[in-house]
Structure 1
Amino acid sequence: MIFPTVPAFRMASDSPVRVERTESVLTLTIDRPGRLNALDVPSFRRLRLELEAAALDRSLRCVLLTGAGTAFCAGGDVAVMEEHRAQGTLDRLFHELTGEQELSVRTIMNMPKPVVAALPGVAAGGGLSLALACDWRIASEAALLVPAFPQLGAVPDGGLTYLLPHYLGTGGAQELLFQNARLSAESARSLGLVHEICPPAGLAARALERARQLSEGPTQEYGNLKQLMLSAFSQSLDSQMVLERRFAVEAA
């Protein structure tokens, strides 16, 4: 069945997440360009709800996550953090904000279909966690990957201390975090944090093309592959091979 390119849900024009469907691909665009798509609690909650809905929709075969304007996501909204700091409620904000972020990251990583991240610009802090949770990352030549937490005097969250060591090894993650490195698209590509790079003007089209290609593939097997790669972080070799055999039998 072919679906036209139309908004998937009726949402207010000021929604922090724009939702569009193209055939069996759902595009979620974090739409707060004036704040470099930084997220507060309500906007993170909206993103999490849209991700959960996409995970449950069997007619969708791939999700594309991106940001409006010149940024992917600058993490948590620092302006909101400063307001709560002045009010003495920063700890409460962090509890709610990181809770929504954790649910979003888990949903992406456990989603039984591929999730593509298109990075038009900066992916910082929690935004970097969201990007690394995705299965395929395409960056524009202007993209910048920044942990950001050290300069804020904060502890990494959103699974960043889980994801970076597995992509880079402990030493590589330490180097990136302790130095608060700012990785260009080319540097990120050389480290395996980005799969493709393209000119900024071609990012949206290239990301949608990749998402469409993945949507035409074996969705169930992609979901099983995601589970296998995720379980490999914590399983023994024997347990991992048992899980591989189970999925192989199911796919036969």
Structure 2
Amino acid sequence: MRILLVASAFNSLSQRVFAELRERGHSVKVQLGPGENELRAAVRKHAPDLLLAPMLKSVIPRDVWSARTALVVHPGPPGDRGPSALDWAIHEGADRWGVTVLQADEVMDGGPVWASAECPVPPVAKSDLYRNEVGDAALEAVLLAVERFTSGGYVPLPQSGPAWQAADHTRPYFDQTLRRIDWSADPTAAVLRSLRAAGSQPGVLDGLLGGEWYLHGGHPEDQLCGKPGELLATRAGAVCRATVDGAVWIPELRARRRPGGPPTFKLPAVLALGDRLPRLPEVPAPLSPAPGRRTWTDLDYREEGPVGFLRFSFPGGAMSTSHCRRLLDAYRFACTRPTSVLVLGGGRDFFSNGIHLNVIEAAADPGQESWENIQAMNDLVAALLTTTDRLVVAALGGNAAAGGAMLALAADEVWCRGGVLLNPHYRLMGLHGSEYWTYTLPRRVGEAAARRLTEQALPVTARAAQQLGLADRVIPSAPQDFGAEVGRLAALLARSARLQERIAAKKAVRERDEALRPLAAYRTAELTEMHRTFFDPDAPYHALRFAFVHKCPAPSPPLRTDPR
């Protein structure tokens, strides 16, 4: 079937729906950020059997939806209407939510229902919930709706009349007046709920140190305390702020845009505040926090018998120079421990998306910061590739892209949750790429497939990744259960009778490959290309990075939606 995917952005859900439908044999074209005339032109050009909008902020015009069936994915259960469904769900403390696929018509979110699916609502940020539980439910509902449409005999259920069971619930846009935090009165639980409902967009607008900032992210702290609203400490770029009954860690801030000024973007809180920040103690988190502690850390290490678990979780999956160096230090420590299997990752959201474009954009010399960031990423990948005394497993509970995908490929095994997407390419950012990808990617998938993946620059589902050789195992678990299942499987791997044989074989292969072509040669060749790009002010990378960070149009390479 010919499907036109209409989306305001090619985000995680749009990519997942696109990739999953293609895998099922449908011909899928993509129309991004459509104005009404652009959408009409796309419909005339592609003559789709079905329009599908997994993430759309604009309205499909009447002449389009009246001529062809157009299905819209709404991130709320049947009967829920309005533009802030997930914000309201988190704000009101819902423990279950849902996704509805409905037909576009005159009433916003009020058309006939083709399919719906339920999901739990764990205490995580809205963006995490959207990519994971809501993403799983959305895909389930979309596939069912497409199957019903393809059958030709299904009659969608109108949202009115005696057969309609759900109560209509239309709610307004969740604006900043509803998000406001009263630091003098709100307990930690209320502050965290506000922060979770606003992450990663739009953030919570607040006053701090004489400026106005959007607060992004929030995590409880059970030991530090002080006058409500005051800053208490810093940790790994985050700031700790006191509440009436404790404190919260806030990893990122975004300055409020001045009227007529340039767009602003998220940065680590300490970097964003700059000289405004008073002298505060840096309170490092222990690498292995005590059981039961409620505090924030973006990386930690624990052991269960012969298995070590090094978990890391950086906002948006972006890894700055500092992130890379701290993770490398933690990895080196983990490699001193008497374990035979080391699991890297295992969290429930992003694994890694590579270098930190926002931090680079904010640097006095973006070219130099790009260079230092890629060197730090390479140091980390090299450490994985040269670990020969144990097996290393990259456990991807969330998506990975660019250098983050290549970081995973440096491990001996790659395990993905079933809902994960991989984007193993750099082309859309105008980069050749590094992280030893010219060694690891062909080694796993072959030269022809490596060329195709990097040139087409399309998302790959976990299932397709396993078929290609990018992944070794797909774990069909719920997001909340992924870590426990990884632990169970890692314990089985550590008890395998062939474990020592595999470790010895791995060491022999590394020595053989090093003799054929040293890792340093791959690094030098890749970084020669990257250096040329980073320090050329006319290279497309700089305009593409600016557009990505500032969320504005740019002369981007076209999205390829046809196999080559």
TM-score by length of 2: 0.37
**Cα-Cα RMSD:** 2.3
Displacement of 1:122: 1.0
1:161 equivalent in structure 2: 438
- Of 85, 94, 103 in structure 1, the residue corresponding to residue 370 of structure 2 is 94
- Aligned partners of 1:219, 1:51: CA distance in 2, in Å? 21
Offset, 1:68: 3.5
2:475 to 187, 198, 205: 198
Match of 2:493 in 1: 214
Identity of aligned residues (%): 25
Residues 31 and 67, structure 1, Cα contact 8 Å, conserved in 2: no
One of 299, 305, 317 as aligned partner of 1:23: 305
1:7-57 CA-to-partner distances (Å, cap 9, x unmatched) read 86359944431222222221111122xx23221111111111111112222
Structure with bigger gyration radius: 2
Equivalence for 1:130:
407
Higher normalized strand content (fraction of residues) = 2
Residue equivalent to 2:513? 233
Does residue 107 in structure 1 map to residue 387 in structure 2? no
Q: Output the CA distance in 1 between the equivalents of 2:287 and 2:305.
A: 11
From the superposition, tell whether residues 163 and 80 of structure 1 become closer, same or farther in structure 2 (CA, over 3 Å).
same
Matched, 1:64 2:343: yes
Cα pair 2:393 2:412 within 8 Å, conserved: yes
Contact 1:30-1:73 within 8 A present in 2 as well: no
Match of 1:117 among 357, 380, 394: 394
Cα 1:8–1:213 change in 2 (3 A) is: farther
What is the match of residue 3 of structure 1? none
- The answer for the alignment partner of 1:140 in structure 2 is 417
Q: Which has the higher contact order (CA 8 A, sep 6+)?
A: 1
Tell me how far 1:178 sits from its aligned partner: 0.9
Rounded Cα–Cα distance in structure 1 between residues aligned with 2:369 and 2:477: 34
Structure 1 residues 67 and 40: CA distance shift in structure 2, 3 A: farther
SS at match of 1:121: coil
Per-residue Cα deviation, 1:231-252 (whole angstroms, up to 9, x for no partner): 343546xxxxxxxxxxxxxxxx
Q: CA deviation at 1:99?
A: 2.0
Shift of 1:127: 0.9
Note the C-alpha offset of 1:147: 2.4
Q: In 1, are the aligned partners of 2:346 and 2:486 still within 8 Å (CA)?
A: no
C-alpha distance in structure 2 between counterparts of 1:136 and 1:65, whole Å: 10
Q: Is the 8 A contact 1:120 1:200 kept in 2?
A: no
CA positional deviation for 1:199:
2.2
Instruction: Specify which structure has the higher proportion of helix.
Output: 1
| Shift in CA distance, 127/210, structure 1 to aligned 2, threshold 3 Å | same
User: What one-letter code is carried by the residue in structure 1 that aligns with 2:312?
Assistant: I
Query: Structure 2 CA distance, aligned partners of 1:67 and 1:151?
Result: 27
- Matching residue within 198, 203, 223 for 2:503: 223
Does structure 1 conserve the Cα–Cα contact (< 8 Å) formed by 2:298 and 2:313?
Answer: yes
1:241 aligns with none
**Structure 1 match to 2:5:** none
Q: Unaligned stretches of 5+ in structure 1? A: 1-6, 237-252
Partner secondary structure for residue 233 of structure 1: helix
Question: d(CA) in 2 for partners of 1:196 and 1:167?
Answer: 14
Distance between the aligned counterparts of 1:96 and 1:21, measured in 2? 32
Instruction: Report the Cα distance in structure 2 between the residues aligned to 1:100 and 1:10, rounded to whole angstroms.
Output: 26
**Contact 2:313 / 2:351 at 8 angstroms: preserved in 1?**
no
Runs of 4+ displaced beyond 4 Å: 10-14, 217-220
- In structure 2, the gaps of 5 or more residues are 1-285, 517-564
1:79 & 1:67 partners in 2: Cα distance?
A: 25
| Residue 81 of structure 1: aligned partner | 360
Work out whether residues 16 and 46 of structure 1, in 8 Å CA contact, stay in contact via their aligned partners in 2: no
